Amino acid sequence: MKTLVIVTHPNIEASNWNQAWAKAAREQGDITVHELHKAYPDQNIDVAAEQRLIEAHDRIIFQYPLFWYSTPPLLKKWFDEVLLYGWAYGPEGTKTTGKEIGVAISTYGTEESYQAGGSNGPLDEILRPIQALARFISAKYLPHFALNDTSNVTPERLAKSSADYVQYLKTVQPVGAAQ
Binding site for ligand FMN (CB under 6 A): 9, 15-18, 65-69, 106-109, 150
CB of 65 to ligand FMN, least distance (A): 3
Residue 51 vs 157, nearer CB to ligand FMN: 157
Residue 87 vs 168, nearer CB to ligand FMN: 168
Strand 140-141 to strand 100-106: parallel, antiparallel, or no bridges (unpaired)?
A: parallel
Residue 12 vs 53, nearer CB to ligand FMN: 12
CB of 93 to ligand FMN, least distance (A): 32
CB 106 within 8 A of CB 20: no
Residue 23 vs 135, nearer CB to ligand FMN: 23
CB of 150 to ligand FMN, least distance (A): 4
Tell me the three-class secondary structure of 36-64, residue by residue.
HHHHCCCCCCCHHHHHHHHHCCCEEEEEE
Tell me the three-class secondary structure of 91-120, residue by residue.
CCCCCCCCCEEEEEEECCCCCHHHCCCCCC
CB of 80 to ligand FMN, least distance (A): 19
CB atoms within 10 A of CB 24: 20
